[in-house]
Amino acid sequence: MTDARALQAHLDQQRHAFAAEPFPSAATRRDRLARLARMTRQHRDEIIQAIHQDIGHRAEAETRLAEIAPLLMAIRHARRHLKRWMASRRAAVPWRLLPGRARIHRQPLGVVGIIAPANYPWGLALLPAVDALAAGNRVMLKPSEQTPTTSALLAQLAERYFATDELSVVTGDTATAQAFAALPFDHLLFTGSPRVGREVARAAAEHLTPVTLELGGKAPAIVAEDADLAHAARRIAFGKWLNAGRTCIAPDPVLVDAARLPAFIEAIRAVVKGFYPAGTASDDYSAVPGEGARQRLEGMLAEARDHGCRVIELGERQAFSHGAKLPPTLVIDPTANLAIMQEEVFGPWLPVIGVRDFDAALARVAAGPSPLALYAFTDDPARRRQLLEQTRSGGVVFNDTLWHGVVPALPFGGIGESGMGAYHGETGFLRFSHPRSVFLQARHNAVGLIDPPWRRWWLRLLGL
């Protein structure tokens, strides 16, 4: 479907269907969500195998934990709260307009476009669709061309469980994705890199299509002086090496008190050995797919070595036909000008930087681009409050990593360089709805007293 006219015809079909049913009932919306859940549950093993094939090796538990479970939780949450989300809200009316009444009517937008990434090809394709369908919209979805097996399975199952004018999947290469982004959707959501996000926003601007951009970047983790190092190392290691570091909210870098840096390194060593006893040969450790991604990561590491950084590899490399297992690797005290500090790592390298104290770490984070996620390990309420007041980020997690992204009731989204807009739960429902203002004038009212001709004394009496 690389032809722009074919894509436009597909969009027109969905627009026509939406026009025939512009405000789907709660029962219709719940049914669509139920079919989405059934499609995922009944074909779970096929989904796991498809993702495994696309990546080269993906731990089954990671797919269950990071893609299937969050999607099913989001669907349950939406179905449970849908009636309340759909209900009109009363709005206060100024006394001069009484006894008129006002309310806010949450209206579906129409057709929502979704462009999904390759790192979580099932979950990040369908999580936005949950919110869009709950809000009463039709959905066109473009999965990543880098995960052809998963994308083909998604397209095949979508045809089986949904009418093409409800939810449809468009597969194709980069040219298809570019043509997709240029369609005049009622809303477009993109998940991916800031570089591609800018291109998507420019394409959408041609039609004034509103966009939600879920981008990446650095996600610093601060280990304060009062933190339990063993606990911090365990939670950072989990967040970092899930999916071999290919998570947009993976910790990157770690900022730790310089005096405790050696102890933190040893704690990380112990955790990695416990997580992956067989090293990268462990079935629980995932691969990095694509020659381009591997070359980028190896170049990043080589540059750090060339500039005198201490590099600690915690495993061996293993190559596959279209992927490789790259070991968990610590890069100690890289300077700010290196690529590993300028770019999102999006792989298993973890920069670890010694800082003077918590205040220095906080100042460093506040001076940089606003991250999609920010992590801090501290039990001090004053430090937590200080972090919340002095930094900006899409989300914050204390004493853990990642988990805010799977809480259905929490908004997920970036700010500044890490994106614009948020979704998940009611926030996502509102993202894909129009808050339509409604004013109902009473048959007998006093607004006629404000009609011209106006007299100064009367305007003063009314407080105008």
Q: Which residues are catalytic?
A: 214, 248
Measured over the CA atoms of residue 367, residue 372, residue 378 and residue 384, the dihedral's sign is positive
Of the candidates 197, 255, 212, 249, the one whose C-alpha atom is nearest the C-alpha of residue 394 is: 249
What does the DSSP 8-state code read for residue 388?
H
For 178-198, b/e burial (b = at least 16 CB within 10 A) is bbbbbbebbbbbbbbbbebbe
- Residue-wise DSSP of 24-52: --HHHHHHHHHHHHHHHHHTHHHHHHHHH
- Residue 363 tokens read as 């100042």
Q: How far apart are CA 198 and CA 213, in angstroms?
A: 9
Task: Say if CB 216 and CB 393 are below 8 A apart.
Answer: no
Dihedral sign, Cα of residue 118, residue 253, residue 64, residue 400: negative
What sign results for the dihedral spanned by CA atoms 51, 55, 56, 61? Answer: negative
Contact 257, 24 (CB under 8 A): no
Contact indicator for 232, 264 with CB cutoff of 8 Å: yes
